[in-house]
Structure 1
Amino acid sequence: MPLRLDLVEGQRANLSAIERRAATLAPRRSVKKEWQAAWLVRAIGLIDLTTLSGDDTPERVRRLCAKARNALRQDLVEALGLSGPVTTGAVCVYPTMVSTAVKALDGSGIPVASVATGFPAGLMPLKLRLEEIRYCVAEGAGEIDIVINRALVFDQDWQGLYDEVRQMREACGPAHLKTILATGDLKTLRNVARASMVCMMAGADFIKTSTGKEGVNAVLPVGLVMTRAIRAYEEETGVKVGFKPAGGISAAKDALIWMTLMKEELGNAWLKPDLFRFGASSLLGDIERQIEHFVTGRYSAAMRHAVA
């Protein structure tokens, strides 16, 4: 849609109210026993299983893809009475690893997500950022996680941000576009709210909290601001936009809190992978460990689970 500055500048963030609301999620909203196990199985299907390390190798990516295809151990699948293997929502890698991941996931239906546009800083010429997107799509990536230019937010240059993201949306072609706001760098929740709205207007399919490389990554107050921006955008346009918290989500209990936030703020539609994802590398291991506790009544050592 065209950029509407009135809608962007109308975004506000009441810090104390946001913090009070976020603080209610963990102690007052919980699921137990078989309901918790069901939510955790659902959470597995929401994970973008990620490796974004400087020492990534094709073999590491193939191992990650093998885990994505069989995300829950077979004996646990059978104990829960599930049909077929449990898979993750996607596998997320660097551009040079996209073709390896595509081959490893062939026939699984699991999409490959690639970071792009000079991840994690995004401080590359726009022409090169757009070319990197096209490269990833040509290699087979079905989802592109781009980073915005934070300087445009600091300058309140909403037209500049809109124009860049719009061009990135066009470069993605058929691939889904996830815009990473790097909220830990944006300093204020008002900046987060306004940048979220601009990215959605420019055509983002998802808005995402973090690269995982900032000092502060996915935290509930930021998540609340972004989900309410998504709700405001849907009320204005009728279009549903997805949400992806990333960075620092490594415990099953944290996944349940984020899922509670989505259910209460946006509804059940955002508990499915087409509208909600976790960006995580170690979360899957703890979820599998918690499900084993439900099945056996005992906690296993983390080393007994395949490394995610």
Structure 2
Amino acid sequence: MQSKVDHMTAQLPQMVEPRNPGQDLDLDWVLSAQANRSAIERRAGTLPGRRSVKKDYQAAWLLKAITCIDLTTLAGDDTEGRVRRLCAKARQPVRHDIMEKLGVEGITTGAVCVYHDMVAPAVEALQGTGIPVAAVSTGFPAGLSPFHLRVAEIGESVKAGADEIDIVISRRHVLTGNWQALYDEMKEFRAACGDAHVKAILATGELGSLRNVARTSLVCMMAGADFIKTSTGKESVNATLPVSLVMIRAIRDYHERTGYRVGYKPAGGISKAKDALVYLSLIKEELGDRWLQPDMFRFGASSLLGDIERQLEHHVTGAYSAGWRHAAG
């Protein structure tokens, strides 16, 4: 088992990969991006039934998934105590007795994601672990607060110790085809992040079409996004396989043309271990093994970890336990 889960500790992209510097806005490239919905849905529909891993291999893939989770709490009733408990779960995501039976140690989640007010307690709770703290920003989730305040919010979260900033774009720029405004906005957000890396949340459920998803992905990468992310988790439609296929093919296209790798983060609605395996197989097939590391791929999730831990307990004991035995924090 150990050989299948080596090198899973989380690291920031700028530590192991040249950071995407962005480039000038290339409207010819952006407007040439198209999306064949029927072909995309047909390809996405083959994945759940065509890819299956069992036994030790499934356990190894589930451990891999854990290292790629942004363990998240974005509730209005968040408290410092809840965040500290979540951070303890990020440090020890699977019960010690299960990990001992698997013969694995040192597994952590990829990051902990919180609102700005919870950044400081999260940083304190994770001190010395190497687990990054991500903060949602720029008027999350709607992104409709005054622009100067959105930029200032990024700066405050960075000052508080956030290593990663999950920003939300202005959907209206996409819906009106104002690609220059989207590029300028994203570029300023990236500059405000400084050394903290930036995940651009596209809110794909509100963009109107898969073609808009493809074009928005390219514009955000041209403006210097380190990651592109599907959703805030607050929209009526969040991460889906067709949307994911469009976004990761845009990432592949960008890498082929520029030489820079950009990460991918599906978020919202991914709560089952079997779904995590499907997403990992999609990444492996479309982008390759390099993107299966936590500096290039993350799940935005709050409940996914509990189901993965439950499946791992079944793997070592042969029985399913109650969900309350795998509390999130």
- Which of 32, 36, 52 is 2:74 aligned to? 52
Q: Determine if contact 1:72/1:85 at 8 Å carries over to the other structure.
A: no
Provide structure 2 residue ranges, at least 5 long, that are not aligned to the other structure. 1-22
Identity within the alignment, %: 67
1:112 aligns with 2:112: no
Cα RMSD of the aligned pairs, angstroms, is 0.6
1:67 aligns with 2:89: yes
CA distance in 2, matches of 1:236, 1:289: 42
Amino acid across the alignment from 2:221: M
Residues 185-229 of structure 1: per-residue CA shift (max 9 Å, x gap): 111000000000000000000000000000000000000000000
CA distance in 2, matches of 1:120, 1:149: 10
Q: What secondary structure does 2:319 align onto?
A: coil
- Which of 137, 140, 143 is 1:122 aligned to? 143
Q: What is residue 34 of structure 1 aligned with on the other side?
A: 56
What does 1:151-166 align with in structure 2 at a 5 Å threshold? Answer: 151-166=172-187
Amino acid across the alignment from 1:118: G
TM-score of the aligned structures, taking structure 2 as reference length:
0.93
CA distance in 2, matches of 1:273, 1:63: 22
Q: Relative CO higher for 1 or 2, CA cutoff 8 Å, sep ≥ 6?
A: 2
Q: What is residue 24 of structure 2 aligned with on the other side?
A: 2
Q: What secondary structure does 1:48 align onto?
A: strand
CA distance in 2, matches of 1:80, 1:167: 46
CA-CA distance at 1:125 after TM superposition: 1.5
Amino acid across the alignment from 1:35: Y
Q: What secondary structure does 1:54 align onto?
A: coil
Q: What is residue 98 of structure 1 aligned with on the other side?
A: 119
Q: Determine if contact 1:152/1:158 at 8 Å carries over to the other structure.
A: yes
1:249 aligns with 2:303: no
Q: What secondary structure does 1:228 align onto?
A: helix
1:87 aligns with 2:108: yes
CA distance in 2, matches of 1:270, 1:51: 25
1:270 aligns with 2:321: no
CA distance in 1, matches of 2:92, 2:51: 30
- Which of 11, 23, 39 is 2:45 aligned to? 23
Q: Determine if contact 1:71/1:85 at 8 Å carries over to the other structure.
A: no
CA distance in 1, matches of 2:181, 2:281: 35
CA distance in 1, matches of 2:256, 2:63: 31
* Segments of 4+ moved more than 6 angstroms: none
CA distance in 2, matches of 1:186, 1:52: 23
Amino acid across the alignment from 1:78: E
Q: What secondary structure does 1:91 align onto?
A: strand
What does 1:112-191 align with in structure 2 at a 5 Å threshold? Answer: 112-191=133-212
Q: Determine if contact 1:119/1:146 at 8 Å carries over to the other structure.
A: yes
CA distance in 2, matches of 1:4, 1:149: 19
Residues 120-158 of structure 1: per-residue CA shift (max 9 Å, x gap): 000011111100000000000000000000000011000
Residues 240-269 of structure 1: per-residue CA shift (max 9 Å, x gap): 000000000000000000000000000001
Amino acid across the alignment from 1:195: T
- Which of 199, 219, 224 is 2:240 aligned to? 219
Provide structure 1 residue ranges, at least 5 long, that are not aligned to the other structure. none
Amino acid across the alignment from 2:54: K
Q: What secondary structure does 2:192 align onto?
A: helix
Q: What is residue 290 of structure 1 aligned with on the other side?
A: 311
Q: What secondary structure does 2:34 align onto?
A: coil
1:203 aligns with 2:216: no
